[in-house]
Amino acid sequence: MDTTFRNFLDSFLNSWRNSSIDEMKDLLIQDYQAREITNGEIIDFGYQESISGWEQGFQFVKENDAVWVINVISSNPLRKNEYFVIISATMVINGKLLDTGNLFFDTFKMGINQEWKLVRSYLEAGVPIDHINGFKTR
């Protein structure tokens, strides 16, 4: 894996784990595109809606004294200066791992200013934790 991308991905994941909305805002491209599937319902959204979603998630974590549990399942180059990463995420609340998690299929790209950004995502929300690689059930 490209060293600059690895450093960026580590920074991205740390921003997420620390629930830092200010850092997360800088890591998404302004014309970011995403699709989320929750219980079969499809929602397409862009940068502003994504930031709003991150803010809500980060607020939930802070209010509930929760801890993010985030794993990189796979990271693969797509093209020069572009990576596809599969990330699983859930939370621990009151010492208990949630029963569900989310799978993020994210594409990151280096722009002309030599900065990596998240450019698009496909998200499967509410996946039973037993079906996600990398999580140990209770």
What are the sequence ranges of the domains in the chain?
A: 3-15+22-130
CB 117 within 8 A of CB 28: yes
Is pLDDT above 50 for 137?
A: no
Q: Residue 20's pLDDT is what?
A: 96
Average pLDDT over residues 62-90: 95
Q: Residue 134's pLDDT is what?
A: 62
Q: Residue 1's pLDDT is what?
A: 66
Position 132 confidence tier, pLDDT thresholds 50, 70, 90: confident
In what helix (H) or strand (E) does residue 46 lie, and over which residues does it extend? strand 41-46
Direct distance between the N- and C-terminal alpha carbons of the chain, in angstroms, rounded to an integer: 33
Question: Does the predicted model carry a pTM greater than 0.85?
Answer: yes
When the pLDDT of each residue in the chain is averaged and rounded to a whole number, the result is 93
Average pLDDT over residues 45-65: 96
Is pLDDT above 70 for 63?
A: yes
% pLDDT > 70, the chain? 95
Q: Residue 138's pLDDT is what?
A: 41
CB 70 within 8 A of CB 16: yes
% pLDDT > 90, the chain? 88
Q: Which CATH number fits domain 3-15+22-130: 3.90.226.10, 1.10.3720.10, 3.10.450.50, 3.40.50.2300?
A: 3.10.450.50
Q: Is residue 91 helix, strand or coil?
A: strand
